[in-house]
A and B are shown apart, each in its own frame.
Chain A
């Protein structure tokens, strides 16, 4: 990187500042508490880059090394990652909202209004929770499309695709249950349509409807029920299933990637004179990587 030259009078104090900074950092990094938490030195050598991943509870779900393809922006668009981040944001903003909201039919709506009028940053908090929820549904869907169109659902990732479909359903249910909690007319429309659909289940209609509503009609019993789904049942299910989802990524060999690196390679072939010849094989197109199937040969 090109930086402008440092003017002469500034050079000495700047050097001194860097020196002091380094001294303080060293002091912290040599201290027993720091070393008790971080058991390896700063990850600027290959060994420490490996250790930092092993030694951290939060990082150890990730591998020490990742395929270059995994980091290619146009391969994943970061959709699964963003879905997870949105879930984290929703988890945090949701907990704060729980401090400020009582799921009782006679005051839920007033609590919603109070968020906008008498809670510091209450409206921003609620907005974040709402928009992040919509974005999460969108990104789950886009993530599914990405995995499909890159063939990521195929073995050995077949089971993880099934887990992913279940996570899609859980996300829709989470978003839907949260939508009810505002206890306004949007919620009334949603629960009416939702209960109608649930009640239309063949054979189980009545049971499903009662399970959703907790009564014959949408009302106070519905609100507390949907709240319990929204803050405990469904998030717990998502945490468990997302845990399985991420763990399976590791167990299935990381994210899917093209089977053959598309670059020139060298192979040895027997030559006519009895020796061997090094030949360069030019990069091949994806279609030509695997011999055509008998079905295709026939055409």
Chain B
């Protein structure tokens, strides 16, 4: 029993005059306790319905409000013969566009995203432990691991992008000046990026493993946080720090129309 318990009352004391008594107590719960039974649930009407309505109206006001203030962009007519500079994808694909600058395009544009989606879909079949379901970040360790992973991911991506600069394959090749042609393409476009990505993820998991001794959920949290932060941070870099020819620049030096909105 946990500490701090208090005896409230003694029930069913042994009585020699009784011919009956409580025989046994089974450990277990009533079927509905803690399962959203009558005591822990509310009628959808009106408790849920009122929120469904309020959220809808609120959202409608926000969307119409934004639309009233800001016009959707419409640039010059479509002409692929005169490409924009920089030519940027919509913001949610800018992370892929940033990756394209650092490795072979089929690795950046197809293989890495496919692996990420595959791991995301496989996640619930790897982590099947249900002990902390329903609790934000599960444990204190979960919060610490998520914060650490955020800092780790931002730091390494910043370092990597600055090192590789905006020259496709250029940064890595500076390490190995003797390489040219197909060898250079394979080494700089495939080998080095894969090694770097695997090593960074491996190092993250190793640090988390040693520092926090995580359970499977907390390991998943390190991986997912790494993905989510990388997804967003690469968008930020590509949107606000890439100018003419997708070269690195400061947000205040961006050429006009460099932000795809």
Contacts and interface: CB of A to CB of B under 8 A. Distances in A.
Contacts of B135: 150-151, 258, 286
A240 interface: no
Interface string B138-180: 1110100010000000000000000000000000000000000
A279 B1 contact: yes
A279 B7 contact: yes
A52 to B, nearest CB: 5
Nearest to B104: A200
Given A154-B124, A256-B134, A278 B2 contact: no
Contact of B12 (A130, A201, A202, A276): A276
Interface stretch (A3-11, A16-24, A59-67): A59-67
Nearest to B111: A202
Contacts of A200: 104-106, 109-110
A278 B6 CA distance: 9
Given A161-B124, A257-B134, A273-B13, A284 B2 contact: yes
Q: Is the interface of A mostly helix, strand, loop or mixed?
A: helix
A280 B105 CA distance: 63
Interface string A92-119: 0000000000000100010011001000
Interface in A274-293: 274-282, 284, 286-290, 293
B218 to A, nearest CB: 11
B231 to A, nearest CB: 8
A280 B5 contact: yes
Interface of B: 1-2, 4-14, 22, 25, 34-36, 38, 40-48, 51-52, 55-56, 59-60, 63-64, 66-68, 70-80, 83-84, 87-93, 96-97, 100, 104-106, 108-111, 117, 120-121, 123-125, 127-140, 142, 146, 213, 215, 217, 221, 224, 228, 231, 260
5 closest A-B pairs by beta carbon, nearest first, are A197-B109, A158-B124, A127-B67, A130-B72, A189-B87
10 contacts: A153-B123, A158-B125, A172-B93, A184-B74, A190-B93, A196-B100, A254-B36, A280-B6, A287-B139, A288-B2
